[in-house]
Every structure is written in C-alpha cells, then in structure tokens.
C-alpha cells in the first residue's frame, strides 16, 4: 500500500526593519488560520535571535492538496499583503508520512 507523502516546507524570511512591527502584529493571526486548515500537521514561525529580522518557518501538511490549498488561502490573506515583496527562502520536500 502506497502512502501519500507529507509536504514539508522549511526556510526563512528576512523582514526589513521598517516592516518588522507590522509583520509581528500580523503573525499570530496567520499562525492561527494556518493551524486551523485541513491537513496542517504543524506550522511554526519563530523569530531568530541571532539574525535580526529573520523569521524561521517550518510547515508540514498531510499531502500536496492540503499544502496547495494553504498556499492559495495565504495568497489572498492579510499576511500576504503585509509581507508582499519580502523574499522567501524556502525549500519544499516530500517526506514519508
């Protein structure tokens, strides 16, 4: 029996100093909305103490469809507006569930 692999995203975003306050303010709602999505197994965004403005990101979804649905919801969210233009440094992999 073949199991559907989980989708894992890891990486970081480097937020410019002039946008930190807005990103920090929007982050709790973004985390709550993502964790409530069907198929979200884990979602962490943590500010890096060693790199000012860097937020380390780790996500795990049950399958590609759940991950893709998250990406679509996120594109239409307040978080997407707040973080528009901030480069993401992410890698996405499939792992055994």
- Residue 60 sits in a domain of what CATH number? 3.30.70.100
Report pLDDT for 97. Answer: 84
| 1 domain-assigned | no
93 φ, ψ (degrees, to nearest 5): -135, 160
User: In which residue are the tokens 């307040």 written?
Assistant: 78
| Tokens of residue 14, six digits | 């480097």
**Residue 74, domain member (yes or no):** yes
Q: Is residue 3 part of a domain?
A: no
Secondary structure class of 9 (helix, strand, coil): strand
Range of 21's domain? 11-89
Q: What is the H or E stretch that residue 66 is in? A: helix 64-75
Residue 29 in domain: yes
Q: Is residue 4 part of a domain?
A: no
Nearest to 6 by CA among 69, 59, 70: 59
- 2 in a structural domain: no
Question: Is residue 40 domain-resident?
Answer: yes
Cβ–Cβ under 8 Å, residues 92 and 9:
yes
Note the pLDDT tens digit of each residue in 39-93: 999 999 999 999 999 999 999 999 999 999 999 999 999 999 999 999 999 999 9
Domain annotation covers residue 96 = no
Domain tally, the chain: 1
pLDDT at residue 5 greater than cutoff 70: yes
């Amino acid at each position: 029996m073949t199991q559907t692999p989980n989708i894992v995203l890891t990486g970081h975003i480097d937020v410019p100093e002039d946008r930190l306050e807005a990103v920090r303010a929007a982050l709790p709602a973004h985390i709550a909305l993502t964790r409530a999505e069907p198929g979200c197994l884990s979602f962490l965004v943590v500010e890096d103490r060693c790199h000012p403005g860097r937020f380390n990101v780790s996500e795990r979804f049950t399958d590609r469809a759940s991950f893709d649905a998250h990406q679509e919801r996120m594109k239409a969210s307040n978080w997407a507006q707040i973080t528009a233009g901030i480069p993401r440094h992410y890698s996405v992999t499939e792992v055994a569930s």
